[in-house]
Amino acid sequence: MLNSMILQRKNKEVSAMIPNSRFYGRRRGKVNMRVFNGKIMLIEKKKNASIILGNSGFTLLNMIFSFSIFMIIVSSTAILIPHLYSISERKTDINPLEWEIFLQQALLELSEGTNLQVEPQRISFTSKSGEIIEYEKYGQLVRRQVDGKGHIICLRNIKNIVFKPIYGGVSLTATSITDSEYHSKLRNFHEIKVN
C-alpha cells in the first residue's frame, strides 16, 4: 500500500494520496503523514464544519442555533409568568393573600391585647407593651397605627369595613370596590373587656 503512494517531504511532513479505509476505497481523502519521535502518524484532514443531520460532531453553528432557541423560550416564559400566576382575578378586588395576612396579624396582636374598643370603622386596643394599636378605614385602605403614629397599609381596595363587638373578640365584614364581601371573626382566648 505504501508502495503506491506519492510522497513529498517538507519539514518532516509527508503528504500522500491514499485510499480512505472508512469508505473502502470509494473515496480518496488527503492524509498528512507526520513524524513524531521517529514514528509516522497519519492525520486525516476533515471539513471545517459538519452538516446538521450528518453523523459528524456538534458544531459551533449548531450550538448557536440551539442557544438562540433556548433564549427565545426563556424570554417568552418570563413575560408570561405574571399572567399565569395572577393572585386575584380582578384588580379592584381584595387580594386574598393580603386578606389572610391582615387577619393573621390582627389576630396575633388582638390575642395579646387588652382594653378593646370597637367602633363601626375602627378598633383599638392596648398591646402587651402598653402601646395603643388601631386598625381603621382610611379612604379605600385599612391602615394600622401605633400610638396614633405611622401609616401601615393592611388592606387595599376597601369600599366599606364594619367592626362589631362579639363575646371575646371582634367580628368584621369588609366590602371591596367590586362589592365582594369578606367576613371573619377575631377571637381572643383570654378575656378581653369590650367597652
Mean local confidence (pLDDT), 99-110: 91
Q: Does the pLDDT of residue 56 top 70, yes or no?
A: no
Output 163 or 9, whichever has higher pLDDT.
Answer: 163
Mean local confidence (pLDDT), 85-101: 75
Rounded to an integer, what distance in angstroms lies between the CA atom of residue 175 and that of residue 133? 23
Q: Does the pLDDT of residue 111 top 50, yes or no?
A: yes
Q: Which residues of 89-123 are buried (b: 16+ CB within 10 A; e: fewer)?
A: eeeebbbeebbeebbeebbebbeebeebbbeeeeb
- What is residue 49's three-state secondary structure? coil
Q: Which of 177, 152, 94, 162 is nearest to 123 (CA)?
A: 162
| pLDDT at residue 116, rounded to an integer | 86
Q: What's the grid cell of residue 183?
A: 367576613
Q: Does the pLDDT of residue 80 top 60, yes or no?
A: yes
Output 29 or 72, whichever has higher pLDDT.
Answer: 72
Give the model's confidence band at 195: pLDDT under 50 very low, under 70 low, under 90 confident, else very high: low
Q: How many Cβ atoms from other residues are within 10 Å of residue 158's Cβ?
A: 20
Give the model's confidence band at 189: pLDDT under 50 very low, under 70 low, under 90 confident, else very high: low
Could you report the per-residue pLDDT of 117-138, keeping only the tens digit for each?
899 899 999 988 999 999 999 9
Contacts of 113 (CB under 8 A, 6+ apart): 125, 126, 127, 128, 133, 188, 192
pTM, two decimals, is 0.52
Could you report the per-residue pLDDT of 7-54, keeping only the tens digit for each?
444 434 444 444 444 434 434 455 555 666 666 655 555 555 434 444
| pLDDT at residue 53, rounded to an integer | 44
Handedness of CA 146, 147, 150, 154 (dihedral sign): positive
Q: Does the pLDDT of residue 3 top 50, yes or no?
A: no
Tell me how many degrees the CA angle 76-82-86 measures, rounded to the nearest 5.
Answer: 145
